[in-house]
Structure 1
Amino acid sequence: MRIGFDAKRYFLNNTGLGNYSRDLIRILEKYAPENEYLKYTPKTGHQYIHQPTAQNNIRLPQGLINTTWPNLWRNQRIVDDLKKDKVDIFHGLSGEIPLGLAKAHIKSIVTIHDLIFLRHPELYHPIDRWIYKKKFKHACETSDRIVAISQCTKNDIVDLFHIPEEKIDVVYQGCHEAFKSTKTSEQKANLRNKLKLPQEFLLNVGTIEARKNILSVVKAIKDLDIPLVIVGKPTRYHQEILAYIQQNNMEHRIHFLQGLAMEELAILYASATVFIYPSIYEGFGIPIIEALYSGTPVITSNMGVFPEAGGPASCYIDPTNISKIQHAIKSLLSDSSKRDEMIKKGLEFVKKFNDDNLAAQWKKQYLTL
């Protein structure tokens, strides 16, 4: 079977949709090598092509029109290339599929990660909301199957796009292999020294934006003796956090990092005393899975998708209640046996996200089209 992927994010996104695309294709290439996997992208990022043979399965726009207007190619003209390559199934990895697949008799699957732009429209420019809605609605209505990355996202698709729920399956995300190996004390100490971090700290990973709500954690630890490490790309919200930190003389306790290599990030997770993720809304929340695989206890939000990702052993809080966040942090920091229990149960829970389990679910998706 030949399966084509919309691989734009595979090559061009360092986080989020890029990680999802790379992990899914990696899992399929390992556990279902009987298929051929073609990656269609307007251009490539050299950092993700590690082997010369990888070039054999990459498809770029060809010809004057397609190379001049790569978005037109990706949204419509790509179908001619799919037909020429005799692709059996096209998989839109990031909520989009091109026009004309059904007419070309090419089966299609689309992955929907979230509908945040509809649940929280205040976070998006009106033009962006219009574009996202048009693309996602078309993909949901015209694809043969829809895969949601969580039950929460599936519920949103049914509710907001009125898609029959039997057309949608839930297949969770996995995460990078770097998080699944035990890290040594020496690795942890070396990284802490390199980054000038303390022995114990809270960790948060994700874009530093209002929806992620990390300012609530900064406020919660104002009177607690625990540093906080925040890893992520800053947005305007970052300035709001900095202002609070300066007003309360917390500069020495809050550490901002970005640009870590994947292996360094995995060691950082394993070095943290507690991982805290008080986001208001996510399609899934992959950093929670990364923390559980790393053997780090998790505090996260008690609503939406977060219990799906965190499982029964994580600690859940109201992300809008500063005192509840503070209480949860104090409770875990003072109870090492509770943290050990959470780590043990968390490692057992995340087995459901192991590569072989996800591969079996994806093979079923493709074979039943």
Structure 2
Amino acid sequence: MHIGYDAKRLFNNFTGLGNYSRTLIDMLTTRFPDNTYLLYTPKISDANVVKPYRHKEHCSTRMPEGLVRGSLWRGYGLAKELKKDQADLYHGLSHELPMGLGAARIPAVVTMHDVAWRTFPAMYHRWDRAIYDFKARHACREAQRIVAISEATKRDVCKFYNVKEEKVEVIYQPAQQLFYAELNKELAHRKLKQYLPQLPTDYLLYVGSVNRRKNLMGIVRALEAIPAGEQLPLVVVGNGREYLEEVHSYVCRYKLSPQFFLFTDIYDNRLLRYLYECATAFVYPSFSEGFGLPVVEAQLSGTPVVTSNVSCLPEAGGPHSLLVNPNDPESIAHAIRTLLADDEARQQRGRNSRQWALETFAPTRLAEQMMQMYRGVVGEE
């Protein structure tokens, strides 16, 4: 098959949506090398993380060549390009599809990661909400199949866009390949001492964007509720704006700075894996997620997890994570104290979590699910 993809975020986004695009292409080209994967993007970043995809085996990158460029090309010019390239199928990787696919008789799949502009509208400007809503509604209507990255996202898509359940298939997001490698804590500690010498030996870890929905303040307030003799430092890997400033001001006001380590510029995924692997526990009490990939990455790294009992996080956390009420710092504190109280039980929980995640989020199995769905869509035409 010749399969077309919206690769804008693959080449230009370095967090969630970009990671999803890159890991999907990685697992499909590895498991199904006989297909041709057409990557359509209006531009390509110079970042190191995307360089392997410029000339990736089994892939062919397409960029605008005429007068129509940028978002106009991506929204209105792709159907013509796909027709010219004889694409059998088009997959929109982030909530949207270009116009004209139906007229060009090109079947389409779209991935819906979440509908946060509907579930957390206060986080979005009203014009942004209107644009996201228009694009999502069009995509859900025009796609032959919708991929939801969790059961929670499937429920939201069906609810807000009046989609029949049978049109939506849940296919989980894999982590990057390095998270499936064998653990080597001795090496991880050595690398962290080399590259992050200021890092404490024992620490709690948070990884992700720093915004109100992710609830970093909930972790900080939970740590306040833990007796001083039981506390561990909190290491935060992520970036943000106003909310990060709010958290930082709170940390300074209540003299928590010695227990708070912030890294905003860690782009090396190997270093990130070492941080996960050496953490005493991973804490992620988000209010809402589409999938919760950091929870999966932590478990694949053998680190026990404290996460929320809402949204998709019980799915991502599985049977071995401790689930908490994200609105209640005492609940978060109790779960952290439970993990810290028994070293042997905590380590066993980490081992169990890794085994469960290796089986549940195995890239080969997820690639086969996706390809089976592609073949079904093409076969319907």
- The answer to whether residue 234 in structure 2 is matched with residue 243 in structure 1 is no
Alpha-carbon offset, residue 233 of structure 1: 1.2
Q: Deviations for 1:129-157, whole angstroms, at most 9, x for unmatched residues?
A: 00000000100011111000000000001
Counterpart pick for 1:318 among 325, 328, 338: 325
Amino acid of the residue matched to residue 116 of structure 1? A
Alpha-carbon offset, residue 187 of structure 1: 2.9
Counterpart pick for 1:213 among 203, 212, 215: 215
Q: Secondary structure at the match of 1:221?
A: helix
Going from structure 1 to structure 2, the CA distance change for 1:276 and 1:52 (only over 3 Å counts) comes to: closer
Given that residues 292 and 347 in structure 1 are in contact (C-alpha distance below 8 angstroms), is that contact kept between their aligned partners in structure 2?
Answer: yes
Matching residue of 1:360: 368
Alpha-carbon offset, residue 52 of structure 1: 6.5
Amino acid of the residue matched to residue 58 of structure 1? T
Amino acid of the residue matched to residue 361 of structure 1? Q
Correspondence list, 1:1-369, <5 A = 1-46=1-46, 47=48, 48-50=50-52, 53-54=55-56, 57-64=60-67, 66-67=68-69, 70-181=70-181, 182-195=183-196, 196-222=198-224, 223-224=227-228, 225-260=231-266, 261-350=268-357, 351-369=359-377
Given that residues 6 and 91 in structure 1 are in contact (C-alpha distance below 8 angstroms), is that contact kept between their aligned partners in structure 2?
Answer: yes
Looking at structure 1, the residues matched to 77 and 194 of structure 2 have their Cα atoms a distance apart, in angstroms, of 52
Q: Deviations for 1:1-57, whole angstroms, at most 9, x for unmatched residues?
A: 100000000000011000000000000000011111000000112321227733960
Going from structure 1 to structure 2, the CA distance change for 1:149 and 1:97 (only over 3 Å counts) comes to: same
Looking at structure 2, the residues matched to 190 and 356 of structure 1 have their Cα atoms a distance apart, in angstroms, of 30
Going from structure 1 to structure 2, the CA distance change for 1:179 and 1:41 (only over 3 Å counts) comes to: same
Amino acid of the residue matched to residue 253 of structure 2? Q
Q: Deviations for 1:298-318, whole angstroms, at most 9, x for unmatched residues?
A: 000011101100001100000
Given that residues 192 and 199 in structure 1 are in contact (C-alpha distance below 8 angstroms), is that contact kept between their aligned partners in structure 2?
Answer: no
Looking at structure 2, the residues matched to 295 and 353 of structure 1 have their Cα atoms a distance apart, in angstroms, of 14
Looking at structure 2, the residues matched to 52 and 304 of structure 1 have their Cα atoms a distance apart, in angstroms, of 36
Identity of aligned residues (%): 40
Amino acid of the residue matched to residue 220 of structure 2? V
Alpha-carbon offset, residue 61 of structure 1: 0.6
Looking at structure 2, the residues matched to 95 and 279 of structure 1 have their Cα atoms a distance apart, in angstroms, of 21
Q: Secondary structure at the match of 1:367?
A: helix
Given that residues 115 and 153 in structure 2 are in contact (C-alpha distance below 8 angstroms), is that contact kept between their aligned partners in structure 1?
Answer: yes
Q: Deviations for 1:109-136, whole angstroms, at most 9, x for unmatched residues?
A: 0000000110111111000000000000
Looking at structure 2, the residues matched to 325 and 49 of structure 1 have their Cα atoms a distance apart, in angstroms, of 40
TM-score, reference length from structure 2: 0.94
5+ residue gaps, structure 1, are: none
Given that residues 192 and 198 in structure 1 are in contact (C-alpha distance below 8 angstroms), is that contact kept between their aligned partners in structure 2?
Answer: no
Alpha-carbon offset, residue 336 of structure 1: 1.2
Amino acid of the residue matched to residue 145 of structure 1? R
Q: Secondary structure at the match of 2:37?
A: strand
Given that residues 188 and 277 in structure 2 are in contact (C-alpha distance below 8 angstroms), is that contact kept between their aligned partners in structure 1?
Answer: no
Q: Secondary structure at the match of 1:37?
A: strand
Q: Secondary structure at the match of 2:295?
A: helix
Looking at structure 1, the residues matched to 22 and 54 of structure 2 have their Cα atoms a distance apart, in angstroms, of 17
Given that residues 295 and 347 in structure 1 are in contact (C-alpha distance below 8 angstroms), is that contact kept between their aligned partners in structure 2?
Answer: yes
Amino acid of the residue matched to residue 148 of structure 2? A
TM-score, reference length from structure 1: 0.97
Q: Secondary structure at the match of 1:312?
A: helix
Alpha-carbon offset, residue 344 of structure 1: 2.2
Going from structure 1 to structure 2, the CA distance change for 1:270 and 1:136 (only over 3 Å counts) comes to: same
Given that residues 202 and 276 in structure 1 are in contact (C-alpha distance below 8 angstroms), is that contact kept between their aligned partners in structure 2?
Answer: yes
Given that residues 282 and 306 in structure 2 are in contact (C-alpha distance below 8 angstroms), is that contact kept between their aligned partners in structure 1?
Answer: yes
Looking at structure 2, the residues matched to 149 and 100 of structure 1 have their Cα atoms a distance apart, in angstroms, of 26
Looking at structure 2, the residues matched to 229 and 294 of structure 1 have their Cα atoms a distance apart, in angstroms, of 16
Looking at structure 1, the residues matched to 54 and 139 of structure 2 have their Cα atoms a distance apart, in angstroms, of 33
Q: Secondary structure at the match of 1:280?
A: coil
Looking at structure 1, the residues matched to 188 and 334 of structure 2 have their Cα atoms a distance apart, in angstroms, of 31
